[in-house]
Structures are given as C-alpha cells and as structure tokens.
Structure 1
Amino acid sequence: MGTAAGRDVPFDIKKHTKIARKEARESRFWLNIVTAAELLQDPEVPSLIQEADELVRILSGIITSATRR
C-alpha cells in the first residue's frame, strides 16, 4: 500500500526532500549568479533568493528530523 495510498516510507520522504533541497540550492545559486552578473534588474530577485534560502533551511530541518527517526 506504499506511495499509491499516499503513505511514503521514511526513506522515500528523506530521498525526495534531499532532491528538493538540492533544487532549492541550485535555484539560489543561479539567482545569485544572475544578480552578481547584473543580467536581470528585477526587484523581486532578492526576495526570491531569500525564499530559496528559507526553503533550504526548512528542508534541511526535515532531513535532520527524518534522520533521527
């Protein structure tokens, strides 16, 4: 009854959370590159960088909690 029933095993949750954290880090990296190279002058970019940073922190906390179980 695993994932089809909406009940992921802890390993799957941890695995998918690590992937999400990696993607958030990559997004933050590229947003910083775009900002440093002055390729984009959008006033929303700093808030997007902050959101990506917050997501990385949240996802890291989830991974830490899942590892302790």
Structure 2
Amino acid sequence: MEDKINQLMQEYSITFNDLATRLGVGKQTLTRKIKGTTEWTYPEMMSLIQIFNIKDPQQFFFNR
C-alpha cells in the first residue's frame, strides 16, 4: 500500500500533508494507515478513490 500511495502522490503532485488534509486525518494517522497498522475507513477509501481516480478499488485496497 505504501508504494502505491507514494507513486500516486508523485503522479498527482499531492504532498503527504495535502493528502492528510484532504482525507481529514492527521499526518501520524495517515502514516499508520499507509503502513497498514491502522485500517482505512470506508469514507477514507472513497476519498482516495476520488482523489487518485482509482479505477479498480478492489485491487488497490485488497491486493497487497
């Protein structure tokens, strides 16, 4: 997940701080979510899908 999100942040020119703000979470929380120690909520997943225009959410979130 970490590599996927880092790649998308670079591709869409979104900083870590911007992503945290757009998701409505703190930077530490976002770090935990990206590293997999904290689960993503449904609204957060939906926001990521919109922010990064993810075509196949099932594969993005569930194929590690």
Normalised TM-score (structure 1)? 0.27
Which structure would you say has the larger RCO, counting Cα contacts within 8 Å and 6 or more residues apart? 1
Normalised TM-score (structure 2)? 0.28
Instruction: Report which of the two structures shows the higher radius of gyration computed on alpha carbons.
Output: 1
